[in-house]
Amino acid sequence: MGFCEKCHNMVDCYVVEEQKSKDIKDKNISYMGKEAYCKECDDNVFNAEIRDYNLKKLDIAYRESEDIILISDMEKILEKYNVGKRPLSLLLGWGETTLTRYLNGDIPTKNYSNTLKRVLGDPDYMKELLEQNKERVTEHAYSECKRAIKEISSTTELQTENKIDSVAKYILKNSADITPLALQKLLYYAQSFYKVFDGEFLFKEDCKAWVHGPVYTDIYYKYKDYKYNPIDGSDIEYNDINLTEPEKEMLESIINYFGCYSGKILEKMTHEEKPWRLTRRGLKDDEGSNKVIKKELIENYFTKIKSKYQMLNISDIKDYSQEHFQKIL
């Protein structure tokens, strides 16, 4: 419901998504917003909820265009380390209300944003800050945060060694006719998009810029005997897959939106992307190489992709995969 000025009455509305834009600090920011229209006369109707929705979408689009941490990611930090806004501000050496202001919508500087991003993705850095500045917070805040970091470390130690194997097994278990070539590319896209949506990489292994695209060598040697044939998963033990629900949700999206393409198509896709191309710069097309595609390069590229396609949910990955496929035809 909303008040239609043309009808001079409260009316039922229908809502449509619309491409919108706004100039912020001499920069034009585009985003997908919503508008409400009167069902009687089709005139635009003001709706407070839609206004708030559009402001939130604009804020996200602006932050992503400037590579500034999102409010949702700052909230993840508090949850991850079981720490309050005031204690975290003090541990970072900031004013005690600084983080509260940022969570209420103030835009942090680039340096402060980068610090928060590092805290989100690096528990060791958070541990270092906690120990260096523990006198600034209460004993209770210190103990709770320390306990959370310890739990994160314990979980990581249990999962790190076999995480990439768990990811590969999950893909194989929930896919059909996956060749070693396709598996490598699905691992690559899972690693890349998990980083930009969750703030952390899915597994610790680096990938190499081989002739046929990004390759995780441990997984390559494990399944290389299948060559260009689909991997037979009937002999694979699946009961040791160690993944969280958010990790599985990401993998489902990768399987749905990239697993529908052949290994050769996925190879062409990665060949069009900057991380692989920049890492192999100066090499011949068929020249072997063990150069590592740096994680920073992957993060920077896919962060821009997430912003360009205005991805708010992991299902939005579909837009990139479909457009990318059309480009290489």
Structural domain boundaries in the chain:
2-65, 71-159, 163-328
HSE (side-chain half, CA atoms, 13 Å) at 254: 29
| Cα 37 to Cα 12: distance, rounded to the nearest angstrom | 8
Q: H or E element: which one contains 75?
A: helix 71-81
Which overall architecture, per CATH, does domain 2-65 show?
A: Roll (3.10)
Confidence of residue 43 (pLDDT cuts 50, 70, 90): very high
pLDDT at 193: 97
Is residue 310 packed enough to be buried (19+ CB in 10 Å), middle (13-18) or exposed (0-12)? Answer: middle
Please say whether the beta carbons of 280 and 272 come within 8 A.
Answer: no
Please say whether the beta carbons of 86 and 99 come within 8 A.
Answer: yes
C-alpha closest to that of 192 among 155, 161, 167: 167
| Cα 190 to Cα 312: distance, rounded to the nearest angstrom | 16
| Cα 107 to Cα 271: distance, rounded to the nearest angstrom | 36
Please say whether the beta carbons of 208 and 290 come within 8 A.
Answer: yes
pLDDT at 156: 59
Measure the N-to-C terminal CA separation of the chain; round to a whole number of Å.
Answer: 46
Cα dihedral 145→151→153→156 (10° resolution): -140
Residue 180 or residue 242, greater confidence: 180
Query: Which phi and psi angles does 266 have, rounded to 5°?
Result: -65, -35
44-45 and 27-38 strand pairing: antiparallel
pLDDT at 306 over 70: yes
pLDDT at 157: 53
Percentage of residues in the chain having pLDDT higher than 90: 72
Please say whether the beta carbons of 196 and 117 come within 8 A.
Answer: no
Confidence of residue 101 (pLDDT cuts 50, 70, 90): very high
Q: Measured in whole angstroms, how far is the alpha carbon of residue 146 from the centre of its chain?
A: 26
| Cα 211 to Cα 199: distance, rounded to the nearest angstrom | 29
Q: Which residue has the tokens 């709706």?
A: 47
Span 219-260, pLDDT tens digits: 999 999 898 999 988 778 887 788 999 999 999 999 999 999
pLDDT at 253: 97
Span 1-23, pLDDT tens digits: 888 889 988 999 999 988 989 98
214: β partners = 209
Neighbours of 91 (CB within 10 A): 24
